[in-house]
Chains A and B, each alone.
Chain A
Amino acid sequence: MGGFKNSKGSALDIINLLLAHYMKRFLGFVKKEFMHIFRDYRTLFILFGIPAAQILIFGYAVSTDIKNAGVAILDLSHDEITLKLTDKIFSSGFFKKTENLLNYNDIDKVFKKGKTKAVIVYEDDFGKKLIREGKASLSIISDGSEPNTATLITNYTTSIVNDFTMELAGPALKNSIRISPEVKMLYNPALKSHFMFVPGVITLILILICALMTSVTITREKEFGTMEVLLVSPLRPIQIILGKVMPYFFLSFINVLLILLLSWLVFGLPVKGSIILLLAECMLYIMMSLTLGILISTISKTMQQAIFISLIGLMLPTILLSGFIFPIENMPKIYDYVSSVMPPRYFIVIIKNIMIKGTGLTYIWKETLILIIMTLVFMGLSVRKFKIRLE
């Protein structure tokens, strides 16, 4: 009995020893990768500087909110009601009064000055008509050369006017008042555009950085000739691949935390769903992007080629086809099919659901499964395609 126990113990010892041996090799490789990253300030900048800059740029500069948009008033009626309505419009904080116009001819002039994005025109006897007939008209003339702003201003003004009519008429007169179609943003009632951008930016940055970094670090070894020496060493392909992936996995995860923290502190963006689920999904997506980067490196011989494939092959389709900016529903069927092989398309659904709608795994398990399958496929292909010899 004792002898049996002993032999079992020593077998375990050998396994442990072997494991420790392999782990030591692997950890030595990981340590070297970390040194590469921390010594190259450009890598560090790309890793942490670009995401922060992207979030701030998208959040502030490319913001589609309106705030203090220039609006002029042409009040042909000039009664108590029009004054009240004008007051309500400008107290909303979205608009800033640029001028009070006197007649229709001024409209063209005021637009040409450039500061005014829209003119609100009250017809003659606006107040009297509204009281007598329950109906009065008001036109919103906007600068169509900036269609985005124009639409936003029109929508905002319409809802303010509707609001005003309701207040004025009171519940009793509800039936007699014509209500124009209401524009309301579900899940983004204040129409804050950062909400839309943060998930998109996370999606874009993670796939770009992870795929770019890993593909560049592997092709760099090829270009500098160090791969030649690595190949003539007992390191296994899987050890080299995982050794390359590990540090970036770790750093990208810190990146996600950084982006979330930044969007929370700067834009006050909350995560409605489970943070744990969100982070887990991000880890999956990072892993997927890293294996994609490895795959890119196996098919490119130089760093330049790897950068080219990562940027052109991943950035453009991610921006254009993932639903980040243009809704997939509005695309021709063919693009819909093309975008169905793009991993970001699925992640964007996942991250929007968790961050903005606050849904759980039950609603996004399908997308999650697709990402898991993609990761496994990329990983398998990378290990298979990883060349154990030179060409």
Chain B
Amino acid sequence: MINVVESSDIAKSFGPIMALDDISFSVNESEIFGFIGPDGAGKTTLFRIITTLLLPDKGNMKVLGMNATTHYKELRKNIGYMPGRFSLYQDLSVEENLNFYATVFGTTVEENYNLISDIYSHIEPFKKRLAGKLSGGMKQKLALSCALIHKPRLLILDEPTTGVDAVSRSEFWDMLNKLRQYNITIIVSTPYMDEAIRCDRVALIQNGKILSIDTPQKIRAGFSRKLFTVKAIEKYRLIKTLKKNPEVMTAYPFGDSIHVTLINDSSDNSLFEYLVKEGISDAVIQEAEAGIEDRFLELMEKA
């Protein structure tokens, strides 16, 4: 098995801002590799270096066995890239966009139709519609079809699900999974932690540094403490009260509950007594399994 992407000590700065700092990782053939991190973590910059759009200040980027700096012409034939923002021609129809990208990459829609049929069949009924008039989910499917039409060996998707509804997001990941059978390696970034579980391996990235690379299961297992979820009706007061307690190490809001870790792992009973004493008597405390986001927050705390 060869490494589709081999990044060693990649650094890139824009003026005084260090966008990427010593990034090293490798992506195996046919895997779905996810970059998880907040906005401004450096995901887009990294993807632009992989796609030969930017040159790194330092380090070596090898893509499909080729140097991304010197062999960019050859690489550009074999990469499919879907940038972070919708970047198809809004004044061309669905069909025209797809045909254009097929022609530019020296192929035809018919030739690789089997590759995109799953995705494209959703938007085919609207093929005469202008791309600018599509809904968010449809735009994303069209962009993916366009990025796939030349059967790239490596597909790079920069936050493909941002701004897309939950159902479309789930469908989208199903499609990516199906692409494995064509031996297409996928590198994808997302700010949504719940999508990380759909990747084979993920890299947690923050402030231009990779915090951890592993399978989603192992990343979750890496969480080193006991985790409790605390629920109460007055959520705002609850989190304020929790943070006042010196026993509490971290308290982060997660949807309708608060994820809490304690300095002494076994003292959840005393936490309940503390809350009652502070006037929050409806608190429900449960031990929970850590998610990727919990691990991410823990790593951030350490960094």
A343 to B87, CA, bound (A): 36
Contact string against B for A residues 15-48, beta-carbon threshold 8 Å, 1 for contact and 0 otherwise: 0000001001100110110011001100000000
Q: Does A232 contact B (CB under 8 A)?
A: yes
B53 and A36 within 8 A (CB): no
Q: Does B55 contact A (CB under 8 A)?
A: yes
Query: Which of A31, A224, A226, A232 has most chain B Cβ within 10 Å?
Result: A232
The residue on B at minimum CB distance from A38 is B91
Query: Which of B51, B54, B89 has most chain A Cβ within 10 Å?
Result: B89
Residues in B with CB closer than 8 Å to A389 are 52-55, 72
B105 and A233 within 8 A (CB): yes
Q: Distance (Å) between the CB of B291 and the closest chain A CB?
A: 33
The residue on A at minimum CB distance from B81 is A232
Q: Does A225 contact B (CB under 8 A)?
A: yes
Q: Distance (Å) between the CB of B111 and the closest chain A CB?
A: 13
The residue on B at minimum CB distance from A28 is B103
B48 and A21 within 8 A (CB): no
Residues in B with CB closer than 8 Å to A229 are 81, 83, 87-88, 101, 146
A32 and B105 within 8 A (CB): no
Q: Does B77 contact A (CB under 8 A)?
A: yes
Q: Does A231 contact B (CB under 8 A)?
A: yes
B77 and A234 within 8 A (CB): yes
Q: Does A388 contact B (CB under 8 A)?
A: yes
A234 and B53 within 8 A (CB): no
Residues in A with CB closer than 8 Å to B77 are 234
Contact string against B for A residues 197-234, beta-carbon threshold 8 Å, 1 for contact and 0 otherwise: 00000000000000000000000000011101111111
Name the one of B72, B83, B105 contacting A225, with C-beta atoms under 8 angstroms: B83
B83 and A228 within 8 A (CB): yes
> Interface residue count for B (Cβ, 8 Å)?
30
A235 to B105, CA, bound (A): 8
Q: Does B32 contact A (CB under 8 A)?
A: no
Q: Does A390 contact B (CB under 8 A)?
A: yes
Q: Distance (Å) between the CB of B1 and the closest chain A CB?
A: 25
Query: In the complex where A25-B103, A232-B76, A234-B105 touch, is A390 in contact with B54 (Cβ < 8 A)?
Result: yes
Q: Distance (Å) between the CB of B61 and the closest chain A CB?
A: 13
Q: Distance (Å) between the CB of B48 and the closest chain A CB?
A: 6
Residues in B with CB closer than 8 Å to A225 are 83, 85-87
Name A's interface SS: helix
Q: Distance (Å) between the CB of B78 and the closest chain A CB?
A: 10
Interface residues of B in 85-113 (CB under 8 A from A): 85-92, 96, 99-101, 103-106
Q: Does B79 contact A (CB under 8 A)?
A: yes
Residues in A with CB closer than 8 Å to B81 are 228-229, 232
Q: Distance (Å) between the CB of B223 and the closest chain A CB?
A: 37
Query: In the complex where A24-B103, A226-B87, A232-B79 touch, is A35 in contact with B96 (Cβ < 8 A)?
Result: yes
Q: Distance (Å) between the CB of B37 and the closest chain A CB?
A: 20
Residues in A with CB closer than 8 Å to B79 are 232
Residues in B with CB closer than 8 Å to A230 are 104
Residues in B with CB closer than 8 Å to A226 are 87-89
Query: In the complex where A36-B89, A229-B83, A233-B76 touch, is A21 in contact with B106 (Cβ < 8 A)?
Result: yes
A224 and B87 within 8 A (CB): yes
Interface residues of B in 197-250 (CB under 8 A from A): none
B53 and A228 within 8 A (CB): yes
Name the one of A36, A40, A228, A234 contacting B104, with C-beta atoms under 8 angstroms: A234
B73 and A232 within 8 A (CB): no
Query: Which of A35, A228, A231, A390 has most chain B Cβ within 10 Å?
Result: A228
Q: Distance (Å) between the CB of A218 and the closest chain B CB?
A: 14
Q: Distance (Å) between the CB of B138 and the closest chain A CB?
A: 18
B92 and A32 within 8 A (CB): yes
The residue on A at minimum CB distance from B86 is A225
Contact string against A for B residues 49-89, beta-carbon threshold 8 Å, 1 for contact and 0 otherwise: 00111110000000000000000110011010101011111
A77 to B79, CA, bound (A): 96
Residues in B with CB closer than 8 Å to A24 are 103, 106
B87 and A228 within 8 A (CB): yes
Q: Distance (Å) between the CB of A41 and the closest chain B CB?
A: 11
The residue on A at minimum CB distance from B84 is A225
The residue on A at minimum CB distance from B80 is A232
A39 to B55, CA, bound (A): 36
Contact string against B for A residues 226-252, beta-carbon threshold 8 Å, 1 for contact and 0 otherwise: 101111111100000000000000000
A121 to B146, CA, bound (A): 82
A231 and B87 within 8 A (CB): no
Residues of B within 8 A of A (CB): 48, 51-55, 72-73, 76-77, 79, 81, 83, 85-92, 96, 99-101, 103-106, 146
Q: A25-B104, A32-B100 are in contact. List 18 more A-B contacts (CB 8 A).
A: A21-B106, A25-B106, A28-B100, A29-B103, A32-B96, A35-B92, A36-B91, A36-B92, A40-B91, A224-B89, A225-B85, A228-B81, A229-B81, A229-B101, A233-B101, A234-B76, A389-B53, A390-B53
Q: Can you pick out 11 interface pairs between chain A and chain B where the beta carbons lie within 8 Å of each other?
A: A24-B103, A225-B83, A226-B89, A228-B53, A229-B101, A232-B79, A234-B105, A234-B106, A389-B52, A389-B53, A390-B54
